[in-house]
Chain A
């Protein structure tokens, strides 16, 4: 996981569900690039194409609600998105993003201030996000969870656990 991420933000509203993020018929794939080709498809091909130029997503309430499909987080990563900032996340998406190595955090304060294309600078160590001269804080993840994210996801974390205790 990168410690700092800087780039332009794309903005979504509330309740973007995981069927919108990646429709069920594409769950036959687990490959990032393949999934990314169909990410946000119900919103139209233009949205998918556009998102590739925005490394940060800013969303309203309940981002990732609905299905527990982990490919929602994978598809977002496949688009080249490196962080998601939302007012709140649905719990299944929240876990899946961490387990997939996609940095996410809740910062409702910034939502109304940000417009599409705005430049954001996220500093994970300081747990701050800078936007047009203002700085916003966000809650840090519990240490055990942070560790999973730092290693790039749960699979990588499991690997280190297994090599630490062979036999498992």
Chain B
């Protein structure tokens, strides 16, 4: 029987894109003109400002739909950076951009979620590929370039293709020492760097914490997704209760029971092991046992993927009363000021400092090659989301990716180590 596309059940991406383009229903492959609720831009904002000047635009579609956060290369480390930051500040002031966060705030994605600028059902675009993270709260987030950001600033809209959706059903529970980072490295390794190119992904099944969801929807980018969602539930409502400016902003969008999925995958969390992504591609994943003992020079606990409060707690639990190996530099860059504050109040900062860690200011830090740069031949183990050649300094350095637990265990031993021995 041929069922007309418009009468079939809809996925989350289809529902959000229909709502934001003023249509009652849309189907995969359709191109729509959508009006995002929020356009985020980070330190790249100055480039969008320069495009605005170049095209001679003098008005924004709606300044309340802009958010600007200075997180990459912050605070400024050169006169050029300082001048770029100044352009961003002046722009925010001139156009009355209220959602402006300066170099003290932290990584844009985390700052915007913490401060209630992301709600379920929102459409959010921005100058960063990891905008997919907003799906942790049920919003459709996706990355665009700086010229396109300017275009949305001015016109309020952009063209978008409605994606097909993959459904991933989670069952079972993580074993001690295994986290959503390991789940995602497993999926990226299995599906490949383009396994979900142009696709939307929805996660169902075993409930996980909002912090774990952020890691999942962030890392989903590394298998190519356009957007990824963990459908809103009681955990989402709880996280957003005191953050959203009005309770009415909480309008969860969920998929229909008969929504059409291009592919359905099942993952038993209980079968997963700690995973490591080896140089120089995220899809190059191995179970930690296969690289156990590999030499490391630096550990980086940072990035929008895994520098949340819960991530710092996991590392601190393992490092409490222990010492970082003398040959290892252990750099901790909290995801945001709020995270750092909470970690300071609860003794997490103390534990990590006493263990031999080095704290930097919140922000992207070494993930964006700012501080913690690697020399020729050095190896960094990192909780970030990318291990691409040359991303943290020398093109002859190597980057491995792992969970905060694997990072902490490895920092103690001075080589890649299975964290399960510490539980």
A contact residues vs B (CB 8 Å cutoff)? 14-15, 17, 19-20, 23-25, 27-28, 30, 41-42, 61-62, 65-70, 73, 88, 90-92, 95-96, 99-100, 142, 144-145, 153-155, 158-159, 161-162, 168
Asked if A62 and B224 sit within 8 Å, CB to CB, the answer is yes
A88 and B197 contacting across the interface, CB-CB below 8 Å: yes
Question: Which residues from chain A contact B55 at a C-beta distance below 8 Å?
Answer: 155, 158-159, 162
For residue B80, which residue of chain A has the nearest CB? A28
Contacts A66-B388, A95-B148, A145-B159 aside, 12 further interface pairs with beta carbons under 8 A come to A15-B283, A24-B368, A28-B81, A42-B395, A65-B224, A68-B127, A68-B144, A92-B143, A92-B144, A154-B151, A155-B55, A158-B150
Q: Which residue of B lies closest to A73 (CB)?
A: B145
What is the number of residues of chain B that contact chain A, defined by CB distance less than 8 Å? 45
Mark each residue of chain B from 67 to 109: 1 if its CB lies under 8 Å from any CB of chain A, else 0: 0000000000010110010000000000000000000000000
Residues of chain B within 8 A of A42, CB atoms compared: 388-390, 395
Chain A residues whose C-beta falls within 8 Å of the C-beta of B146 in the assembled complex: 70
Known: A88-B197, A159-B55, A161-B155. A66 touches B145 (CB 8 A): no
Residues of B within 8 A of A153 (CB): 147
Query: Is B117 part of the contact surface with A, judged by Cβ < 8 Å?
Result: no
Let me know if A20 and B145 touch, CB within 8 A. Answer: no
Q: Is the CB of A25 within 8 A of B145?
A: no
B267 proximity list for chain A (CB < 8 A): none
Cβ of B193 within 8 Å of any chain A Cβ, yes or no, is yes
A15 touches B389 (CB 8 A): no
Pair B194/A99 contact, Cβ less than 8 Å: no
Verify B129–A68 contact, CB threshold 8 A: yes
Nearest residue (CB) in B for A62 is: B194
A–B Cβ pairs within 8 angstroms, 18 of them: A15-B281, A19-B391, A28-B81, A28-B84, A42-B390, A62-B224, A67-B128, A68-B128, A91-B226, A92-B129, A95-B148, A96-B144, A100-B147, A142-B31, A155-B51, A155-B150, A158-B55, A168-B59
* Separation of A19 and B390 alpha carbons in the complex (Å): 7
Q: Judge whether A162 and B51 touch: CB under 8 Å.
A: no
Interface string of B42-59 (1 = CB under 8 A from A): 001001001100111101
Residue of B nearest to A44 (CB): B395
Indicate if B386 sits at the interface (CB-CB under 8 A): yes
**Max chain A C-beta neighbours (<10 A), residue from B143, B147, B389, B390:** B147
Write out the residue numbers on chain B whose beta carbons fall within 8 Å of the beta carbon of A41.
390, 395
Partner of B154, one of A25, A91, A168: A168
- Distance in angstroms between the alpha carbons of A73 and B78 in the assembled complex: 25
Q: Give the distance to chain A from B287, nearest Cβ to Cβ, in Å.
A: 22
Does B359 touch A at the CB level, under 8 Å?
A: no
B198 on the A face (CB < 8 A): yes
Q: A24-B369, A28-B84, A41-B390 are in contact. Are A158 and B197 (CB under 8 A)?
A: no
Q: Which 4 A-B pairs have the closest CB atoms?
A: A70-B145, A68-B143, A62-B194, A19-B388
